[in-house]
Amino acid sequence: MKNEHKETKKNGGNLDIAIDRWKSLYETQLLVLAVLPKAVGGFIIKGNRIHKVICLLISLLFVMMMISCGNAGADDATASGTIGRMLAKAIAEVPSPELMLPAPAPEPEPEPEPKTELSTLPLAGLTIGIDAGHQQYGNSEQEPVAPGASETKARVTGGTSGVATGKGEYQLNLEVALKLDAILRERGATTIMVRTQNEVDISNVERATMMNNAGVNLCIRIHANGGDAAQHGAMMLVPSGSVPAEIQSASKTAGEIIFNHFLQETGAVSLGVIPRSDLSGFNWSTVPVCLIEMGFMTNYDEDLLMSTEDYQYRIAKGLADGIESWHNNY
């Protein structure tokens, strides 16, 4: 009886030592699991119960080794009972801390792209009218060629067509006008387009009136020429005749500057700056206006050239460069 008491006391002492050691190991493992996610850059391990079970299972081997060493003479049943009591006591005494993982750091918001102030653009404050000449279907109804004039002309025609491309002039004019519109707006100008599609019915007088009412600083009319197959080259038309002198002067100045830049950009043959008094779109205008004849659609090579994207862009850029130069100097 005395020997049994000693053995029990001995086993109890060994058990207390084992429990203390196991608790220390378990708490160390909990600390490692709490710190580990931070160390690996926010890797998340979830479920506190899973943590505890993993710790217990990992520690079990260690506990069994200690019990085996401290109870070498105990039989299997005694060892099993000892393990069970040890685990029950350990689980009861060791706290279950919540492993509060840090919230993931918010992703930094992308920096907004710097916005270009409109006032810093070269054509800021300028309003340009763009008239893509002609339209898909002409209108042969008559209108006065000038205010108060008895002479009349067709309201609008469909224009010429390409001998190589078969394209209507009205199509070519709009293709270039849209490219010019985009470049001018990129440079800060306000643009007024007479038309943005081909199926319209807008007379030449109505086009001029639209620009007058908008109060544009300048209207540029986009056209292509027709004639003999051998004819080629570009020209700039400007108003004359009954148009007020100040509009004629301003138009001629703008036309010359813009045409020079057009020629530099395209390398086109120059047919000069030509005054015209017979164009309704000029005679009804109360704002500076000029008309570019980009080339001859009746010339096989020139017709093909004017339908290429690259050449159209060069036309538009040359016109825009000329408008910017005119704006900077006048």
The 3-state secondary structure of the chain reads CHHHHHHHHHHHHHHHHHHHHHHHHHHHHHHHHHHHHHHCCCCCCCCHHHHHHHHHHHHHHHHHHHHHHHCCCCCHHHHHHHHHHHHHHHHHHCCCCCCCCCCCCCCCCCCCCCCCCHHHCCCCCCEEEEEECCCCCCEEEEEECCCCCCCEEEEECCCCECCCCCCEHHHHHHHHHHHHHHHHHHCCCEEEECCCCCCCCCCHHHHHHHHHHHCCCEEEEEEEECCCCCCCCEEEEEECCCCCHHHHHHHHHHHHHHHHHHHHHHCCCEEEEEEECCCHHHHCCCCCEEEEEEEECCCHHHHHHHCCHHHHHHHHHHHHHHHHHHHHHC
- Which single residue is written with the structure tokens 């047919």? 271
Identify whether 260 is part of a domain. yes
Could you count the other beta carbons within 10 Å of the beta carbon of residue 268? 23
Domain boundary among 58, 76, 93: 93
Question: Based on the domain organization, do 192 and 314 belong to the same domain?
Answer: yes
| CATH number of the structural domain spanning residue 193 | 3.40.630.40
Question: Based on the domain organization, do 133 and 18 belong to the same domain?
Answer: no
Question: Based on the domain organization, do 221 and 323 belong to the same domain?
Answer: yes
Whole-number Å distance between alpha carbons of 76 and 82: 10
Identify whether 293 is part of a domain. yes
For residue 173, report the phi and psi dihedrals to the nearest 5 degrees. -60, -45
Could you give the C-alpha distances from 155 to 199, 221, 238, in angstroms and in order? 15, 16, 20
**Domain of 222, in residue numbers:** 119-329
Identify whether 108 is part of a domain. no
Question: Based on the domain organization, do 152 and 35 belong to the same domain?
Answer: no
Q: Give the pair of three-digit tokens for residue 189.
A: 């100008």
**Which pLDDT tens digits describe the chain residue by residue (330 residues)?**
545 555 555 555 555 665 566 566 556 555 555 544 444 444 334 445 555 555 555 556 555 555 554 444 444 445 455 555 655 555 555 555 544 455 666 777 777 666 556 579 999 999 999 999 999 999 999 999 999 999 999 999 999 999 999 999 999 999 999 999 999 999 999 999 999 999 999 999 999 999 999 999 999 999 999 999 999 999 999 999 999 999 999 999 999 999 999 999 999 999 999 999 999 999 999 999 999 999 999 999 999 999 999 999 999 999 999 999 999 998
Could you count the other beta carbons within 10 Å of the beta carbon of residue 8? 10
Q: What is the count of structural domains for the chain?
A: 2
Question: Based on the domain organization, do 261 and 162 belong to the same domain?
Answer: yes
Between the CA atoms of 222, 155, 250 and 186, what dihedral angle is there, to the nearest 10 degrees?
-40
Identify whether 100 is part of a domain. no
CB 249 within 8 A of CB 160: no
Question: Based on the domain organization, do 143 and 75 belong to the same domain?
Answer: no
**What is the reported pTM?**
0.66
